Amino acid sequence: MHDGDGFDFANPSPDPDAGSAEQAASEAVVDQAAWAVARQGLVAGQEGLENGIIEVIRTCYDPEIPVNLYDMGLIYGIGIDTEGMVWIDMTLTSPHCPVAETLPIEVRERVRMCPGVKDVHVEIVWDPPWDIEMMSEAARLELGMF
């Protein structure tokens, strides 16, 4: 998905040394296929790594909201393969979020620091649309939304 300035949320930092357009297209197909498999659930034995990833995501905040992204319900899915590749589906509270370009990058960079993580792919999704019911009880309490 691209914004108006050509920023690709699905691949925010393309490899400047990447080869031809055909190679890039081929890699995109592989990424999508791997992501489709990862969305089916965690690879056996990766539960501990998932817990570590969740804890790292809990250190990421929207600067306008005093609740972390995970408890806000903005993380829709985490997939991990046997090689340590991580795929994250996340959303934003609004397509017009002022930090729409920086939050996915922050999530990706922080999760990359987890031991056992080889690389991270963050995809912004809009379905289902985010709503307050996706927040954890602790997040709603913190924001006084009970």
Tell me which residue range forms the domain holding 138. Answer: 21-142
Q: Considering the entire predicted model, what is its pTM?
A: 0.70
Other beta carbons within 10 angstroms of residue 131's beta carbon come to 9
Q: How many domains does the chain fold into?
A: 1
pLDDT in tens, 90-143: 999 988 888 889 999 999 999 999 988 999 999 999 999 999 999 999 999 999
Per the CB < 8 A criterion, the answer to whether 2 and 8 are in contact is yes
10: in domain:
no
Per-residue b or e along 33-47, where b marks 16 or more CB atoms closer than 10 Å to that residue's CB: ebbeebeeeebeebe
112: in domain:
yes
| Predicted pLDDT at 3 | 43
> pLDDT confidence of 11, banded at 50, 70, 90?
very low
Q: How confident is the model over 18-42, as a mean pLDDT?
A: 48
**CATH assignment at residue 108:** 3.30.300.130
Average pLDDT, the chain: 78
85: in domain:
yes
4: in domain:
no
95: in domain:
yes
Which residue carries 């997939």 as its tokens?
Answer: 79
More confident residue, 41 or 64: 64
